[in-house]
């Protein structure tokens, strides 16, 4: 027997108007609170800033062109200056524009400038505003401060001196109270500027004189054999060098600045017109991987500063040495015994002369020699003498990933490229 079931529709009760008004008021209260918190956070805790100019390039960049060498493929940046395009300061056009003449910081190629390109905005940094309430500013910090004469303008700079200190710029280095100021490792790594990277080689070097130029000539390998040396470029991989010689016969490659980029304080980010007038930079780093393929021999590098050549080498017995050569006299500066190099196992080799300190790295091992912190400790300054970079070795070796870098070089305001 079936029974009838009565189904009644339930009606949704409308919320009282008072409750809806309270919800709206509560929402506005949260929005106002969030706005106040955001304002306070931005005003007193942290704020994002855009880099307006290229005065800190290449470590921090203003508006710039992102370029890639059409010959070797090396990526680099070039600063955009609105005044060159008759635009107000800090103006970035929406469309593409043609960059001025530039130079590849690795192979030295001057590419044609017939193509318009987009402009990238300046880098953005987050500034922790309250940190100096608890800690004193440290040298080499990146800081933001207001121009005292125009408080609406923010300056973004790297701190090199504090109240009460005497600052000097001597041959590109910063001296505080008469002592050279050494940069922390993290800061120093950011400040290495490329001079040459052998991994990036032109694909059409013979076309240089037609399309553009490589420092005014056709491209050639800038590492050359010194007389009677027997380094050879690998035929299957021209980015590698090979050596097969007696263990007691030293063979030397020298970086030829008449072919490659000069060791001057130039920046790919800046106008190329002032390159020839920039000073030499003798704070250098050479880096490569060495693969010993024989039982006996040694591998090393040489960096000269003023009239002294500093050599660093390691041999198959595990002797790691730094020495100075001046007026044909060799003086050993530092030595340590390490585990002998492993045959057919590439090892990273770095030799650095920076801020009056020699640092030699072979694999995980390091050898450091302090030249002293006073201006005269590195010897009489001969800033008109171009430094030299050499790689030397004996026995059976293969070199790869060879590159040269230079330190940031501070100059007086009279130099256009800083």
Residue 127: inside a domain: no
Does any domain span residue 165? no
**Residue 143 belongs to some domain of the structure:** no
Give the residue among 18, 334, 373 at the shortest CA–CA distance from 168. Answer: 373
Write out the residue range of the structural domain in which residue 35 sits.
Answer: 20-48
Question: Which pLDDT does position 44 carry in this prediction?
Answer: 66
Is 203 among the domain residues? yes
Can you give the pLDDT at residue 14? 53
Band of residue 418 on the pLDDT scale cut at 50, 70, 90 = very low
CA separation for the pair 233, 235 (Å, rounded): 6
Convert the pLDDT of each residue in 125-141 to its tens digit: 888 877 777 888 899 99
Query: What is the C-alpha separation between 406 and 278, in angstroms, rounded?
Result: 14
Q: What pLDDT, on a 0 to 100 scale, did the predictor assign at position 165? A: 95
Instruction: Examine the pLDDT at 246 and tell me if it is beyond 50.
Output: yes
Total domains present in the chain: 2
The answer as to whether 7 is a domain residue is no
CA dist 304 → 58, 77, 189, 283, 407 (Å): 25, 29, 21, 9, 14
Within a domain: residue 75?
A: no
What pLDDT score was predicted for residue 213? 75
Tell me the C-alpha distance between 217 and 185, whole Å: 37
Span 185-201, pLDDT tens digits: 999 999 999 999 999 99
Least Cα distance to 398 among 248, 240, 278, 269 occurs for: 240
pLDDT at 8 over 90: no
pLDDT at 198: 97
Q: What percent of the chain has pLDDT over 90?
A: 54
Write down the pLDDT at residue 276: 81
Is residue 104 included in any domain, yes or no? no
Q: Domain containing 402 — which CATH number? A: 2.60.120.560
Tell me, yes or no, whether 340 lies in a domain: yes
Which of these ranges, 217-221, 247-251, 265-269, 336-340, has the smallest mean pLDDT?
Answer: 217-221
- Give percent above pLDDT 70 in the chain: 91
Predicted pLDDT at 55: 81
The two structure tokens encoding residue 211? 């399309």
């Amino acid at each position: 027997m079936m029974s009838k079931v009565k189904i009644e529709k339930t009606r949704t009760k409308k919320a009282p108007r008072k409750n809806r008004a309270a919800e709206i008021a509560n929402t506005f209260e949260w929005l106002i609170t969030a706005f106040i918190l955001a304002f306070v956070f931005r005003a007193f805790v942290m704020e994002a800033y855009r880099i307006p100019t290229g005065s800190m390039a290449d470590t921090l960049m203003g508006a710039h062109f992102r370029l890639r060498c059409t010959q070797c493929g090396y990526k680099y940046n070039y600063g955009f200056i609105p005044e060159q395009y008759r635009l107000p300061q800090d103006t970035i056009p929406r469309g593409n524009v043609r960059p001025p003449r530039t130079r590849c910081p690795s192979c030295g190629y001057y590419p044609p400038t017939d193509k318009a390109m987009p402009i990238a905005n300046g880098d953005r940094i987050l500034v922790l505003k309250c940190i100096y309430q608890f800690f004193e500013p440290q040298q080499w910090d990146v800081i933001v401060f207001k121009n005292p004469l125009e408080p609406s303008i923010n300056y973004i700079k790297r701190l090199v001196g504090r109240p009460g200190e005497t600052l000097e710029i001597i041959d590109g280095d910063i001296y505080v109270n008469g002592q050279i100021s050494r940069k922390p490792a993290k800061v120093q790594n950011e400040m290495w500027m490329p001079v040459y990277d052998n991994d990036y080689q032109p694909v059409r070097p013979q076309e240089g004189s037609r399309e553009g130029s490589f420092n005014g000539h056709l491209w050639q390998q800038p590492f050359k054999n010194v007389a009677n040396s027997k380094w050879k470029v690998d035929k299957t991989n021209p980015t590698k060098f090979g050596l097969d010689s007696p263990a007691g016969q030293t063979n030397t490659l020298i970086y030829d600045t008449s072919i490659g980029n000069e060791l001057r304080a130039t920046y790919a980010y800046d106008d190329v017109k002032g390159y020839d007038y920039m000073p030499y930079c003798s704070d250098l780093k050479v880096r490569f991987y060495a693969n010993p393929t024989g039982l006996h021999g040694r591998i090393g590098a040489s960096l000269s500063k003023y009239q002294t050549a500093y050599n660093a080498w390691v041999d198959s017995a595990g002797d790691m040495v730094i020495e100075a050569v001046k007026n044909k006299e060799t003086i050993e500066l530092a030595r340590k015994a390490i585990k002998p190099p492993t045959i057919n196992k590439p090892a990273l080799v770095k030799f650095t002369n920076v801020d009056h300190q020699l640092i030699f790295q072979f694999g995980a091992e390091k050898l450091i020699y302090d030249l002293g912190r006073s201006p005269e400790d590195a010897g009489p300054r001969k800033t008109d003498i171009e430094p030299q970079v050499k790689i030397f070795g004996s026995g059976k070796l293969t070199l790869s990933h060879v590159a040269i870098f230079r330190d940031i070089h501070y100059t007086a305001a009279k130099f256009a490229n800083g």
